[in-house]
Structure 1
Amino acid sequence: MIPATLFVCSLCRFSATEKSRGGLSGGQYFINQLQTELAARNLQDTVHLQPVRCMAACSRPCNVTLGAPDRLTFILSGLSTTESATELVEFCQQYTTYPGGRVPFKERSAVIRAASAFILPALPAPN
């Protein structure tokens, strides 16, 4: 598996009307769930989880970006902070195993297909 970085907005709301629960933002809650899912699949050393303060898509929480050198970059928006962690980690696992991160559309879960906002070309690996 090729290592990848999953950037997750830590400030995203739970929904358009619910900013936080029990002192946690929706994004931080999602990050906590993702850490648990990555550990359960033994992916914590393959998928680096990187919280970011804002991804400027506040109207469609939660927002993430998955990328790695010489692989496609996926920007996902509108992921449920309470229900998408399993599907997102499954997608991360697929991404790290397919050449160039090119996970076939039919093999992506419905959650990932619906949340796919942009797919960017691969950046070259540093020399």
Structure 2
Amino acid sequence: MTRVLFVCEACGFSADRELYEGQPGGTHLLHQLMPLYENWARKSELEIQTVGCLCACERPRAIALGATNKITYLFGDLPPLESAEALLQLCELYLDSEDGYILPAKLPVSETAAMPEFRLFQQFIRRNYSSSNRVRTL
């Protein structure tokens, strides 16, 4: 089974700043992520791929996490210099889940990064999915 974390390279650095030190936010996120990934014990279980654009321009600094027969997640508004550790924690939870579903309370929140997308995701899951029925038509 192929499991992939997609990182958008084109995303701007912040809402009001396209580049930081000459590079977009997606590139910075990737540069923070790759050294951790190279030494990550579960590297063989997950690929990291870059994409030119995830079409999440309203929520830049986007990533997508997906696998065959699993839920696919799309997160944006990630702090590009502070999200790498939390993303690998998210990937571990995802790999450990049979269907990709991650309990909202278990979503990682970095001490240095606000990770607002994870909190929004938690609220969405709580509103739309009960503990007894994880699948719901929206």
Q: TM-score range by the shorter chain?
A: 0.7 to 0.9
Q: Unaligned stretches of 5+ in structure 2?
A: 110-114, 126-138
Distance in 2 separating the partners of 1:40 and 1:116: 28
1:72-87 pair list within 5 angstroms: 72-87=71-86
Identify which of 118, 122, 128 aligns with 1:113. Answer: 118
Q: Provide Cα deviations, 1:33-87, integer angstroms capped at 9, x if missing partner.
A: 1112212323332221111111222232211110000111111111111111111
1:67 partner letter: G
Give the deviation of 1:3 after TM superposition.
4.7
Higher normalized contact order (CA 8 Å, seq sep 6+, divided by chain length): 1
**How many residues end up aligned between the 2 structures?**
118
Superposed CA RMSD: 2.2
1:26-105 pair list within 5 angstroms: 26-105=25-104
Q: Provide Cα deviations, 1:3-35, integer angstroms capped at 9, x if missing partner.
A: 510111101111012211222211011112111
Bigger radius of gyration among the two: 2
Question: Cα gap change, 1:57/1:108 in structure 2, threshold over 3 Å: closer, same or farther?
Answer: same
Question: Secondary structure in 1 aligned to 2:99?
Answer: helix
Question: Secondary structure in 2 aligned to 1:101?
Answer: coil
Overall identity of the aligned pairs, in %: 29
Of residues 106-115 and 29-38 in structure 1, the stretch that sits farther from structure 2 once superposed is 106-115
Moved over 6 A (4+): none
Question: Secondary structure in 2 aligned to 1:99?
Answer: coil
Of residues 6-15 and 52-61 in structure 1, the stretch that sits farther from structure 2 once superposed is 52-61
